[in-house]
Structure 1
Amino acid sequence: MIPPQRLVVQRVHNNNVVLALDGRGRSLVVTGPGVGFGLRRGSQVDVSRVEAVYVPEDAARAASAAGTLADIPHEVVTTAREIVDDAQQITGLTRPEILLLPVADHLQYAIRRAQEGTEISLPLVWEVRHLYPRELAAGDRALAIVRARLGTALPADEATAFALHFVSATFSGAALDRTVSMTEALSTIFDLLDARLSVPLDRNSQSVSRFVTHLRYLFVRLAEGRDVTVVPGLMSDALESSVPETMRLAREVAQALNSTWGHEISEDETTYIALHIHRLVTSADSP
């Protein structure tokens, strides 16, 4: 994020981290080598010294965020900024300014785990690969940046964790736990489909990839509170009469999504889900 032209110091946490007010009256955190040197409350920040800007989603947390960033080694914060900048180039992040702290904080603990030989299990790797391929590519790049800048080789699965941070920044007001819920919804749906179908689905097949693409757009609509375009009545009637089991399965999927989102899936959307399930099952049964 390009720093504002005018920043007034609220608190100097150390030479590298300052809590400041911009011209719009927002509290934000700026970092950079020597950015806080010799400053005191009410001083104007030399914006040429600013390397990165963090704008909390909740302004009340700005002071706490500044304290957290001040406790993270500067080289880790600098690497986190490079990761966010790189992810913006790859994924087109519209709100990179909210990512500096969570990415720096995650990176610090990931490095510590790698140094201590502690491994963590991330069960959502397949789901992230299919739902968020661009973000996962940025996560892979993040590991390369960490290796080049800090000399630490993080486990490959850490790319998934970084990817989830990038995804969280694409949904207005969405926290990381909301993003994880979206990703877990995909796992829940496929567990449900596997339990109802005679043969488990091949998660790496083209038909599954197409189905996941539909679900990805469905999740975006749910996040934005938008309903699907009205489905022609003939389509709904045809599916109901020709593949009633598929319609029942689609309603089970819709009910699972209702529980995750707290937002009722419309009958039109359920019909679209049934259509994609029918295509999925037909493709899976084909030789």
Structure 2
Amino acid sequence: MPASARVKRVLNNNVVIAIHPVHEEVILIGKGIGFGKKNGEALNVSEVEKTFLLEDKVMQENYKQLLPYVGEEFIGFMDDLLSHIEKRMDSTLNEHIHIALTDHLSFAIKRMKEGLDFNNPFLIEVQSLYPKEHEVALEVVDMIESRLGFQFPIGEVGFIAMHIHSAITDKEISQISRDSELIRQLTQLIEQELAIDLDRQSIDFHRLVQHLRRAIDRVYKGEEVGERTKLDNLLKNEYPVCYNLAWKLIKIMQQKLKQPIDDAEIVYLTIHLQRLQSS
């Protein structure tokens, strides 16, 4: 941050809005960076720990409105937390996580203080869908307990993992939630139609869930799996129950996603279903 950056508004001792000669208005975070500062005063470069451009003006305004409700200690903690996530994921995080995860965690702590809990209906699916994010989310929960003294319920791990995935893929949390819910519905239908209880810790379940996620991603990207092959007829004749169920799953996905799905998906889904049925 160049020395010519000047304070526009002090939000609290650790956060200021500054005027940057290139990026115009930015949000700066650093321990004590805003203490005793006045509007127009130059900032010490060495005090700046994090710079948010937040070019989306709505996002920037949301962040400004959020800060007074979370406290300065919590903002400092979030800076450490997000640095940890970025390092562990070895990926640059989309800036929106600074608002989304800060808001989510502060509200979760508020719920805990009030004795309220919030269930995560697709926790197991999230664990299989985003294993690395889930691992880091567990570390985040440990950091919260160690630094802030709050022991989060296990369901929160899934929500945190979704925020991490959102920040490294630039997907909206709402889309990730919809996709996770769709996969949960599909796995429940598989159990119902095949009259089995899926072992959600098994490698076969993990492979199924990962395939469904990739299939959904392919739909969003308009990608095709490939042409249907002779294997299609073989599977249809050898495993009619799994084959018909695969078609039913594809129809549900088309209905929920409101987009066509490559027919070749039927082959791979049938193989996954047959493996689950015979395991």
- TM-score of the alignment, normalized to the shorter chain, above 0.5: yes
Structure 2 residue aligned with 1:272: 268
Query: 1:164 offset after TM fit, Å?
Result: 1.3
Tell me, in whole angstroms, the C-alpha distance in 2 between the residues paired with 1:259 and 1:58: 33
TM-score normalised over the length of structure 2: 0.86
Q: Deviations over 1:129-170 (max 9, x none)?
A: 111111111111111111222222222322222111111113
1:57-79 Cα deviation digits (max 9, x unpaired): 73333123123124321111122
**Change in CA separation of 1:250 and 1:144 when aligned onto 2, cut-off 3 Å:** same
**Which of 88, 91, 96 is equivalent to 2:89?**
91
Q: What CA distance in whole angstroms lies between the structure 2 residues aligned with 1:14 and 1:119?
A: 30
AA of the residue aligned to 1:67: Q
Q: Distance in 1 between matches of 2:109 and 2:127?
A: 23
Task: Select 1:145's aligned residue among 143, 146, 149.
Answer: 143
- Is 1:155 aligned to residue 183 of structure 2? no
> Identity rate of aligned residues, in percent?
26
Unaligned runs of 5+ in 2: none
1:169 corresponds to = 167
Give the corresponding residue for 2:39: 40
Q: Call closer, same or farther: CA 1:141–1:232 in 2, change over 3 Å.
A: same
Aligned partner of 1:18 in structure 2 is 16
Structure 2 counterparts to residues 209-224 of structure 1, below 5 A: 209-223=206-220
Matching of residue 65 in structure 1 with residue 74 in structure 2? no
Tell me the SS of whatever aligns to 1:18: strand
Change (3 A) 1:7 1:270: farther
1:112-123 aligned at under 5 Å gives the runs 112-123=110-121
Q: What secondary structure, in the 3-state scheme, does the structure 2 residue paired with 1:12 have?
A: strand
Q: 1-side partners of 2:70 and 2:176: how far apart? A: 25
Give the partner amino acid of 2:258: G
Contact 2:191–2:197 (Cα < 8 Å) also in 1: yes
Cα 1:227–1:270 change in 2 (3 A) is farther
1:255 maps to a residue whose letter is: K
2:182 counterpart letter in structure 1: A
CA distance in 1, matches of 2:52, 2:63: 9
| Cα distance in 2 between the residues matched to 1:217 and 1:61 | 30
> Which whole-Å CA distance do the structure 2 matches of 1:252 and 1:124 have between them?
21
* Alpha-carbon shift at residue 226 of structure 1 (Å): 4.4
2: CA distance, partners of 1:200 / 1:232: 30
Structure 2 counterpart of 1:233: 229
User: What residue identity is the alignment partner of 1:13?
Assistant: L
Gaps of 5+ in 1: none
CA distance in 1, matches of 2:152, 2:218: 34
Q: Compared with structure 1, are the counterparts of its residues 26 and 220 closer, same or farther at alpha carbon in structure 2 (3 Å cutoff)? A: farther
Residue 242 of structure 2 is aligned to residue 246 of structure 1: yes
TM-score, normalised with respect to structure 1:
0.84
* Shift, 1:234, TM fit: 1.5
From the superposition, tell whether residues 246 and 16 of structure 1 become closer, same or farther in structure 2 (CA, over 3 Å).
Answer: same
Secondary structure, counterpart of 1:121 in structure 2: coil
CA distance in 1, matches of 2:160, 2:274: 34
How many equivalent residue pairs?
278
The CA RMSD over aligned residues, in Å, is 2.6
> What is the distance in 2 between the residues matched to 1:184 and 1:5?
48
Q: Give distance in 2, aligned partners of 1:252 and 1:4.
A: 59
Query: In 2 relative to 1, CA 278–21 (structure 1 residues): closer, same or farther, beyond 3 Å?
Result: farther
Deviations 1:100-146 (A, max 9, x none): 22222222222222223222222121111111111111111111111
